Amino acid sequence: MLLASIGALALAACQDAAPPAAAPEAETVVAAEEEPVTETVSLLAKMVCGADGFIRQDATRESLAQTFGAENLVEEELAWVDSAETALVLFPDEPAMRTEMFWLDKTSGGPRYVSAGGAQSQWIGPGGLFVGAGLADVEAANGGPFELMGFQNHNAGEVTDWLGGALAAKPGETCEFAMVMALSPDAASEVVVPVSGDPEKVYRSDSPEMRAANPSADALALQFFDPS
């Protein structure tokens, strides 16, 4: 009887209990539409070493064609030291972007020297250097003076040593920024002669002769090499 009574009470309790309250309707959450993320891509043609440069040491003819278009690559015979050599030219008919590339094995095997110049060149080097930059601009980017050839032979105006400045390659690096400087066509003979008489002479940028001649950047370049 006791068990029957407990069962009856439990049944009555279940019948008398109020039905559970309905769960509140979930609020409709409208997610705010996210604005599309626009990645900022620099359109500047950078003549710099490393990942930011347009031309890297691992570049191949195929990778350049994929990036810039095969129609924008041609082979040309260009002056190299005392002779001529086949080079791969990027954007050959666009003075603002024209770039000449000499390779380890003609036009393959990796670039060894990449150069862009001319009055219309839009390439930008480290420290914001550009074709037309003067001695003071280059020294500021380098953090000090540098050495360059005189203006007598085929190496006229080439920077030969950054004298440990910011533009010099550091130990273990395989790329160094390079530059060729030129005298103004209007430069007076009295300032040209002192920096043009000896085809083998190297001048410091802060020497009195070079200060008076005041050359400017004629070409920006990259030189790739094996540090070993």
Q: Which residues contact 121 (CB under 8 A, 6 or more apart)?
A: 95, 96, 97, 98, 130, 131, 219, 220
How many distinct structural domains can be found in the chain? 1
At 108 the pLDDT is 64
**pLDDT below 70 — which residues of the chain?**
1-44, 106-108, 227-228
Helix %, strand %, coil % for the chain, to 5? Answer: 20, 30, 50
Token representation of residue 187? 């430069």
Give a yes or no: residue 85 inside a domain.
Answer: yes
Give a yes or no: residue 187 inside a domain.
Answer: yes
Give a yes or no: residue 31 inside a domain.
Answer: no
Give a yes or no: residue 97 inside a domain.
Answer: yes
Cα R_g (the chain), whole angstroms: 34
Give a yes or no: residue 219 inside a domain.
Answer: yes
Beta bridge partners of 159: 148
Token representation of residue 115? 């150069």
Phi, psi at residue 69, to the nearest 5°? 100, 125
User: Domain with 183 in it: what CATH number?
Assistant: 2.60.460
Give a yes or no: residue 35 inside a domain.
Answer: no
Residue ranges making up the domain that contains 66: 61-224
Give a yes or no: residue 40 inside a domain.
Answer: no
Over residues 46-56, the pLDDT tens digits come to 999 988 888 88
At 134 the pLDDT is 95
Range 191-196 contact pairs with CB under 8 angstroms and sequence separation of 24 or more? 192/151, 195/150, 195/151, 196/150, 196/151, 196/152
Taking the CB of residue 171, how many other CB atoms lie within 10 A of it? 5
Q: Chain-centre distance of CA 168, in angstroms?
A: 15
CA distance 185 to 137: 20
Using DSSP's 3-state secondary structure scheme, residue 157 falls into coil
CA distance 86 to 102: 7
At 148 the pLDDT is 97
Give a yes or no: residue 30 inside a domain.
Answer: no
At 17 the pLDDT is 42
